[in-house]
Amino acid sequence: MIQINDKQFELFLTKEQIQDKISKVAAQLNDDYADKSVLVIVILNGSFMFASDLIKQLKFDNEVSFVKLQSYNDFSSLGNVLELIGLNTDVEGKDVVVIDDIVDTGITINSMLHKLHKKNVGSVNVCSLLFKPDAFKGDEAPKYVGFSIPNKFVVGYGMDYNQKGRSLTEIYKLKD
C-alpha cells in the first residue's frame, strides 16, 4: 500500500510482470517489423518508462520522435486532447508505431491517429502497455497490448496522479 497525495493505492503489477510483458510485446513488434524501417512516436509524459524499456529491445531499424498530449486532469477526462508538444517529424509514407502508456477511453489515440492519417502515413499501429477495453470508445483498439485491465485508476511506471508517482517501478491501482 502506498499513499499519493490524498489517495491510497495498492500493488497491481510488479516490476517483474511488467518487464516480462514488455519483452513479449517487443518480440511481437520485432516479428512484424523485421525488415522495415519504422518511426516510433512516443506519447509523453506517461509513456517514457515503457517506451524506454521497449525501444531498447527493438531489433528493427527505427527512429524515435516524441509528442506531448494531455487529455486528463486528476481523475477526469478533459473531453478533448491538448497538444503541448507537437510532432516535428515528416511521417508521409512511413510505417509508424505509436507508443502510449495506457489506452482507456481512446480519446488521445483517436486524436493522434486522425492527425497521422491526414499526413498520409504508410501504416500506423498503436502499442500500449495497458488497455482498458471496458472504458474504450475509440475507433481503433491498440494492436500491441501488454495488459488488458479493468477500468480502475492506476499510477506508477510513468503514470501519475496529479504529477506524482511516475517514478514508481511497479503499477498500483486506486484502493477501493
Catalytic residue selected from 53, 95, 100, 104? 104
Q: How many residues in the chain?
A: 176
104 is catalytic: yes
Supply the residues annotated as catalytic: 104
